[in-house]
Amino acid sequence: MSLKPTHELHNRRFGRNLGVGLILAAFVALVFGLTMVKVTRGDFVMPPSEELN
């Protein structure tokens, strides 16, 4: 009982999914990096809390 070889369509779909996954991971890393730089530089200021009177 040998396994059937992977169809050509599945190979193309895997390549496309891998590309989209890598681009998504790069975008997440970019947003994370920009957030860390902004927070550690001190540019990030929490808005003043509103007092309930």
The boundaries of the domain holding residue 35 are 12-41
Beta-carbon contacts of 11 under 8 Å, excluding residues fewer than 6 positions away, are none
Q: What is the pTM of this model?
A: 0.62
* 22 domain residue, yes or no: yes
* 36 domain residue, yes or no: yes
* 18 domain residue, yes or no: yes
DSSP tag of 47: P
The three-state secondary structure class of 13 is helix
* 37 domain residue, yes or no: yes
Phi, psi angle pair for 2, to nearest 5° = -95, 150
Q: What is the pLDDT along the chain (53 residues), one digit of tens a residue?
A: 567 777 888 888 999 999 999 999 999 999 999 988 888 887 666 778 766 55
Domains held by the chain: number:
1
> What's the distance, Cα to Cα, between the start and end of the chain in Å?
78
Residue 51 is predicted with a pLDDT of 60
> Are 38 and 44 in contact, with CB atoms under 8 Å apart?
yes
